[in-house]
Structure 1
Amino acid sequence: MRVQGVIVSHYGIAVEVLFGDGARRMVKVKRNSGHVVGDRVEVTGEVLARLPRKTELQRRDARGGIHLVAANLDVLGIVVAPSSPAGFTDRAIVAARAAGLEPFLVVNKLDLPEGEEVAGTVVPLYRELVLVFALSAATGSGLEPLREFLRNGHRGAFVGSTGVGKSSLLNALVPNLDLKVAEVSEHKYQGRHTTTVSSLHALPGGGELVDTPGFRDFGLVDITCEQLAEFFPGFEALERQGCRFHNCRHRSEPGCAVSVLAASGALNAERYRTYLELLDEVEAAEEAAQRRGWKK
């Protein structure tokens, strides 16, 4: 008999499937099967078949490897805190938009003076571009607006570098979850990531969250220079102003609207530098793909 369900946990050589009647079952898979949490599947005996995906969230690691993070999400929560590396937020927003997901920011650790300082910078910078939730997972302050947002039937994931408090945030949102939280050092407020199994959790009142292993890098996958300019946060004004040339890469071309925004201060200088770094990265990836095509 064929039964459809959703993969809610992935253990490398086996996955846990949640069926419509609430039953759960472990099914063995090959280690590199390509299945991920969030996949809709059809199970026949011990055979598992993946159904078409609506969305995929991928990332490229520092060594160039491509990893599929989760499937069939509709939102992506980008968690930032005092330990967050520069540029991670903009990378994640671009990746989310390119994957067809709605990005939102979670500024965590407001219970720390350093967290308040981060919020004072991040909230004004992004609140006109994406939804922003400033909170403390440790004390619970500011959690209710985020809960209300997720209750609207969203399936999402939290991404962020190690030490930003993703496990603490999930523990606060999902009662009795009790994810292991690593000790965070006082130096730079960084911790060791503790999640080793990807899993999907239902939230009280509605909504679902995927817990994924943390990572410090978020390299872009299969994004063109045109998509980078389209999805980069802060470039939304280009739709109204426009550049002289339709294929402008916003580096030093004449009549570039982005250059005007950067020069006037309307575009944050640090984030413009992040864009230029991402542009270099995307151009290098495109050139590498072209070279591979020529060798075939």
Structure 2
Amino acid sequence: MHNRDKNNLKRKGVIVAHYGVAVEVLFNDTGERSTVRVKRNSGHVVGDNVEVKGELLNRQRRFSELSRMDTRGGIHVVGANLDVLCIVITCEPLPPPGFTDRAIVASRAAGLTPILVVNKSDLTCFMEYFQDIKRSYSGSVTIFSVSAETGSNLDQLKEFFKEGHRGVFVGPTGVGKSSILNRLIPHLNLSTGEISETKKRGRHTTTVSTLHLLEGGGELVDSPGFNDFGLVDTSINELAAFFPGFEKKVANSCRFRDCRHRDEPGCAVTDLLEQKQISEERYATYLNLLTELEMIDSDPKYRERRNRRKK
């Protein structure tokens, strides 16, 4: 095919890597890959379905997007057309307080299914930690116990993704996200950081957002620096319904429809607390998230932006 004919041909594909001023597109028809230049603030992200004609890139409508908020209040889309958020945690290093609950809420608010991937089952601290995680989350999310070091139970994670899921790995620095990807995708060889003996944290080494095809089906996105969540897509009224452990209690259970589960009479959530079905620590996390959302919601510009994104 002549170059002129090739440049006039519209080809559909998916963005599998983003380099700032260029994206790598995997074409649906041939499986070929091509790099296409884009403006730095073009808005294209890994997972976007696109139509390419020469050097022109046309993004197709997204059915989902996962976003985060930076320290200045700016919103950044991490990945598009995802259906699963893989939250990687471990006993060493422990996640920051409230991280797991925040990640689950953010996932559900974005329309994704959260799963917990508890890594480093080979460590001596693992079993006690894993039992705590199961007590807190087994009724709310699917939990996988794995070891990137030994490969233990990673076949179960592969089988899950063979159902056709596209997920993104998130988690604090040092939990082994890239190490798990290296196990799931042979010959990938993502760089992994050394663990500091003083802080027990790995240096984050992934620098480019990338989408990877799993053998047998499914896709995984590795995104750099995704260590924390701003509650970009969550409203105050949705928080309790998305918060793990509350979801089955808040639906039509509280006396007042606008109950925020602080100290209102007839509150189903505070009943859970009194019955010790949810810990004081996790209830404190809920209250912190609620206060954060109330502060955000007091900003008309942000509230308008969130409502516009949800349409």
Distance (Å, rounded) in 2 between the aligned partners of 1:264 and 1:27: 57
CA distance, structure 2, for counterparts of residue 167 and residue 268 of structure 1? 32
Q: For 2:136 and 2:239, how far apart are their aligned partners in 1?
A: 19
Given that 2:10 and 2:53 are in contact with CA atoms closer than 8 Å, whether structure 1 keeps it comes out as yes
Q: Does 1:69 align with 2:78?
A: yes
1:259 aligns with 2:258: no
- How far 1:253 sits from its partner (Å)? 1.0
**SS of residue matched to 1:32:** coil
One of 230, 236, 241 as aligned partner of 1:230: 241
Are 1:105 and 2:116 an aligned pair?
yes
Report the 3-state secondary structure (helix = DSSP H, G, I; strand = E; otherwise coil) of the residue aligned with 2:247.
Answer: coil
Indicate the SS of the match to 1:113.
coil
| 1:215 to partner: Cα distance | 3.1
Runs of 4+ in 1 over 4 A off after TM superposition: 290-293
Paired residue secondary structure (1:37): coil
Matching of residue 49 in structure 1 with residue 58 in structure 2: yes
Q: Cα offset for 1:187?
A: 2.9
Aligned to 1:5: 13
Task: State the distance in 2 between where 1:13 and 1:290 align.
Answer: 29
Tell me if structure 1 keeps the 8 A contact 2:110–2:233: no
Identity of aligned residues (%): 59
What 5-or-longer segments of structure 2 have no aligned partner?
1-8, 305-311
Q: Tell me, yes or no, if structure 1 residue 155 matches structure 2 residue 182.
A: no
Deviation, structure 1 residue 227: 1.0
Query: In the alignment, which of 131, 150, 157 is matched to residue 139 of structure 1?
Result: 150
Question: What's the RMSD between the two structures over aligned residues?
Answer: 1.5
CA shift in 2, pair 1:264/1:134, >3 Å: same
Distance 1:114 1:35, change over 3 A: same
1:176 corresponds to which residue?
A: 187
Q: Is the 8 A contact 2:241 2:250 kept in 1?
A: no
Cα deviation, residue 290, structure 1: 6.5
What TM-score results when the alignment is normalised by the length of structure 1? 0.95
Aligned equivalents of 2:45, 2:238: Cα separation in 1: 25
The alpha carbon displacement at 1:219 in A equals 1.3
Residues 233-264 of structure 1, C-alpha deviations (whole Å, 9 max, x = no match): 11123256610100101011111111111111
Structure 1: state its 5+ residue gaps: none
Partner of 1:114: 125
Q: Shift of residue 114 of structure 1?
A: 2.5
Equivalent position of 1:196 in the other structure: 207
Aligned partner of residue 199 in structure 1, secondary structure: strand
Could you list the per-position Cα deviations for residues 158-217 of structure 1 after superposition, in whole angstroms to 9, with x for gaps in the alignment? 110111100001001100000000101123421110011111100011100001013332
Letter in 1 for 2:198: H
Distance 1:171 1:36 in 2: 22
1:128 is displaced (CA, Å) by 1.4
**Does residue 1:19 correspond to 2:27, yes or no?**
yes
- Counterpart residue number, 1:28: 37
**Is the deviation greater in 47-56 or in 260-269?**
260-269
- In the alignment, is the contact (CA less than 8 A) between 1:8 and 1:15 conserved in 2? yes
CA contact 1:62–1:217 (8 Å) conserved in 2: no
Per the normalisation by structure 2, the TM-score is 0.91
1:212 corresponds to: 223
2:69 aligned partner: 60
CA distance in 2, matches of 1:292, 1:146: 37
